[in-house]
Amino acid sequence: MNTIRLDKARDPAFKRQVEKESGQNLSLCYQCGNCTAGCPGAQVYDRQVSQIMRAVQLGLKEEALKNRSLWLCLSCSTCSARCPNDIDVAAVMETLRMMARREGWVQDRPIESFWKAFLDTVKYTGRSYELGVMADYMARTLRGWGNLEIAPMALRKNKMPFVPSVIHGREEVARIFKRYAEKRS
């Protein structure tokens, strides 16, 4: 069990920052646990959604940001649909994910790499390209072998074209990514 010194660890500005970026009033959360009860990712989370919500309320920045759950979140919005106080919990999770990335606290590199691989194919071709994403992801992480199990069927059914679809406006799309990267740095 972790012991947390609330008098030392609290950062009240953190809660305000999360509220501002997510547009949600976190004081409304009364810890009913409905978000956790309906969360399809709960089985693999290292910290449950309701615990993360509580950590944000208390201003416990590290508790809220340093966990794998933010990356394992499936963005299904079930938590938001079931919150009795109408908090968009999924939006809070997404905000925290972005904040954790800014802090350099990414707790699940493979999932982060998958997103990168996906966005790279969009950046270079204008569209996502399944086989390219898979190859890029596996090269980056040396993981993802479990997917080879479905490869024979996908190839037999010709569901994964070898040639990517490249759009005329791919440079226009690449410029979106370039400006985004410049703004971030």
Partner 1 sequence: MKYAYYPGCSGHGTSVEYEASTRAVCNALNMDLVEIEDWNCCGSTPAHSVSHELSAALSARNLLQAAKTGADCVISPCPSCSSNLKMARWRMQNAEFKAKTDELLDAPTPANADGGADLMETYSVLQAIVENVGVDAIARRVTYPLEGLKVVTYYGCLLSRPAKVAQFDDPENPVSLDNVMKALGAEVLPFALKTECCGAAMGIPDVNIPGSLSGRILDTARAVGAEAVITACPLCHMNLDLRQRQAARISGKAFFGLPVFYYTQMIAYAFGLSREAMRLDKLAVNPYPLLDKIAARREARMAEALKTAGAAS
Q: At what angle do helices 89-103 and 12-22 cross, to 10 degrees?
A: 120
CB of 112 to partner 1, least distance (A): 9
Q: How many residues bind partner 1 (CB under 8 A)?
A: 64
Which stretch, 12-20, 28-36, 46-54, 144-152, contacts partner 1 (CB under 8 A)? Answer: 144-152
Q: Is 128 in the site for partner 1 (CB under 8 A)?
A: yes
Q: Which of 1, 2, 30, 43 binds partner 1 (CB under 8 A)?
A: 43
Phi, psi of 173 (to 5 degrees): -70, -40
Q: Is 79 exposed, middle or buried (0-12, 13-18, 19+ CB in 10 A)?
A: buried
H-state helical runs in 61-129: 61-65, 69-72, 78-82, 89-103, 109-125
Looking only at residues 71 through 100 of this chain, which bind partner 1 when binding is defined by CB under 8 A?
A: 72, 74-78, 80-82, 88, 90, 94, 97-98
Closest by CA position to 50, among listed 61, 60, 62, 36: 36
CB of 18 to partner 1, least distance (A): 15
CB of 57 to partner 1, least distance (A): 22
CB of 71 to partner 1, least distance (A): 9
Nearest CB to partner 1, comparing residues 41 and 59 = 41
Distance CA 19, CA 56 (A): 9
Let me know the angle formed at the C-alpha of 128 by 124 and 130, rounded to the nearest 5 degrees.
Answer: 120
CB of 19 to partner 1, least distance (A): 16
Nearest CB to partner 1, comparing residues 66 and 127 = 127
Distances (CA, A) of 6 to 48, 52, 65: 20, 15, 16
User: Is the CB of residue 27 less than 8 Å from the CB of residue 57?
Assistant: yes
Locate tokens 């409304």: which residue? 28
| Residues near partner 1, by CB under 8 A | 40-41, 43-44, 72, 74-78, 80-82, 88, 90, 94, 97-98, 101, 108, 110-111, 113-116, 118-119, 122, 126-130, 133-134, 137, 141, 143-144, 146-147, 149-150, 153-154, 157-161, 165, 167-170, 172-173, 175-177, 179-180, 183
